[in-house]
C-alpha cells in the first residue's frame, strides 16, 4: 500500500480528496475489518474505504488501467443491465480495459474453458431486470449523498 489506513484517514480529515481518490491503497483494502475492530477511537475504517471506492468510481478519478476499479465498474454495469454476471464476459471486459496483453497470453486457457463448457459466451440474465435496475439506481442515488468525511 502506498498509504496506510491511518494515513488515508488523516488525508480524509485534512480534505485531500484528490490524493485519496487517486490512491491505489483504497483498492487494496480486502475488507477484513481488522482495523475497524482494533481501532481505539472506533472509527469505521472499512466502511470509509468502501465509501471512498464508491466515490472514486462515481467521480471517475481512480488510477487508470488499475484492474480493481475497472472490475467493480464492469461488474455493476453487467448486474445493472442483465441482473447477473457472466464470468467469461466479465473477465474479457476486464482484460480488454485493464490489460489487453493478458488476453493474448491466456487465450489457450480461455479456449480450453470454453470447450469444456466452464465458460459460456452468452449473457446470463434474470427476468425482471428493470425492477433490479430501478433498485440499484435508487440505491446509487442515496450513496451519492454520503461523503467519506460524513462516514468518519
Ligand atoms: S479492512 Fe483490513 S485490509 Fe482494509 S484497511 Fe482495514 S486492515 Fe486493511
Q: What is the pLDDT of residue 147?
A: 52
Q: What is the pLDDT of residue 139?
A: 74
pTM of the model: 0.70
| Number of the ligand 1 atom closest to the C-alpha atom of 31 | 1
**Which 8-state DSSP code applies to residue 44?**
-
Q: What is the pLDDT of residue 96?
A: 86
| Number of the ligand 1 atom closest to the C-alpha atom of 46 | 1
56 CA to centre of ligand 1 in angstroms = 18
Contact 20, 61 (CB under 8 A): no
> Which residue owns the Cα nearest ligand 1 atom 6?
35
> Which residue owns the Cα nearest ligand 1 atom 2?
32
Q: What is the pLDDT of residue 37?
A: 95
Q: What is the pLDDT of residue 151?
A: 46
**Helices assigned H by DSSP within the chain:** 5-13, 17-21, 25-28, 34-38, 45-59, 67-82, 87-98, 100-105, 107-115, 129-143, 148-151
Low-confidence ranges of the chain (pLDDT < 50): 146, 148, 150-152
Q: What is the pLDDT of residue 145?
A: 52
4 lines ligand 1 (CB under 6 A): no
Q: What angle do CA 109, 113, 115 make, to 5 degrees?
A: 115
CA torsion 44-47-52-55 (nearest 10°) is: -130
Q: What is the pLDDT of residue 152?
A: 47
Q: What is the pLDDT of residue 34?
A: 94
Which of 2, 9, 26, 30 gets mutated to test ligand 1 (max ligand atoms within 8 A of its CB)? 30
Amino acid at each position: 500500500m502506498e498509504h496506510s489506513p491511518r494515513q488515508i484517514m488523516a488525508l480524509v480529515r485534512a480534505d485531500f480528496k484528490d490524493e485519496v481518490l487517486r490512491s491505489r491503497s483504497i483498492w487494496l483494502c480486502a475488507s477484513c475489518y481488522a482495523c475497524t475492530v482494533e481501532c481505539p477511537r472506533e472509527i469505521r475504517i472499512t466502511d470509509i474505504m468502501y465509501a471512498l471506492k464508491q466515490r472514486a468510481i462515481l467521480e471517475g478519478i481512480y488510477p487508470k488501467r488499475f484492474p480493481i476499479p475497472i472490475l467493480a465498474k464492469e461488474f455493476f454495469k453487467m448486474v445493472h443491465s442483465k441482473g447477473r454476471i457472466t464470468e467469461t464476459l466479465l473477465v474479457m471486459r476486464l482484460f480488454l480495459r485493464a490489460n489487453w496483453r493478458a488476453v493474448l497470453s491466456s487465450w489457450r486457457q480461455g479456449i480450453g474453458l470454453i470447450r469444456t463448457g466452464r465458460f459460456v459466451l452468452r449473457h446470463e440474465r434474470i427476468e425482471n431486470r428493470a425492477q433490479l435496475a430501478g433498485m440499484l439506481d435508487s440505491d446509487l442515488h442515496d450513496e451519492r449523498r454520503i461523503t467519506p468525511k460524513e462516514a468518519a
